[in-house]
């Protein structure tokens, strides 16, 4: 089992719809969770971070965390073609003998007009 798992996609949604991106993680003791957006050929850009169970909203983005289910998601409302990118989930966890940020392989989102 991978430590941070994401569906690779592509997830295709029409413009204006809600895009839902999901991520599961293996370490029940993890405390910090992050979502990054990565455009093709560019470096990852931090979108959201969440530490507590529940929802955290920032503009069109909402991060949802459920520690009991070891599940974190990102909702993008009113999706725009400019949101088309790969979204990386990252979880800070103890792995391989030390604490570190573990990244999922990413979900590719395609928003079509």
Partner 1 sequence: DGGITQSPKYLFRKEGQNVTLSCEQNLNHDAMYWYRQDPGQGLRLIYYSQIVNDFQKGDIAEGYSVSREKKESFPLTVTSAQKNPTAFYLCASTPGQGSEQYFGPGTRLTVT
- Residues β-bridged to residue 55: 64
Go through the chain and tell me how many residues it has: 113
Structure tokens at 97: 């003998």
**Between residues 17 and 22, which has the closer beta carbon with respect to partner 1?**
22
In a 3-state reduction of DSSP, which class is residue 82? helix
In a 3-state reduction of DSSP, which class is residue 83? helix
Instruction: Fill in the per-residue mask, 29 to 68: x = in contact with partner 1 (CB under 8 A), - = not in contact.
Output: --xx-x-x-----xxxxx--x-------------------
What is the phi/psi pair of residue 38, to 5°?
-130, 115
The region of 9-17, 18-26, 62-70, 95-103 touching partner 1 under the rule CB under 8 A is 95-103
Binding residues for partner 1, per CB under 8 A? 4, 8, 31-32, 34, 36, 42-46, 49, 88, 90, 92, 96, 98-106
């Amino acid at each position: 089992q991978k430590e941070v798992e994401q569906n690779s996609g592509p997830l295709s949604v029409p413009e204006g719809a809600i895009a839902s991106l999901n991520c599961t993680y293996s370490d029940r003791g993890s405390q910090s969770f992050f979502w990054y957006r990565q455009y093709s050929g560019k470096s990852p850009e931090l979108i959201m971070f969440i530490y507590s169970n529940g929802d955290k909203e920032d503009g069109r983005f909402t991060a949802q965390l459920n520690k009991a289910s070891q599940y974190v998601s990102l909702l993008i409302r009113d999706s725009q073609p400019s949101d088309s990118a790969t979204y990386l989930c990252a979880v800070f966890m103890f792995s391989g003998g030390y604490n570190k940020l573990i990244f999922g392989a990413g979900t590719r989102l395609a928003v079509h007009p």
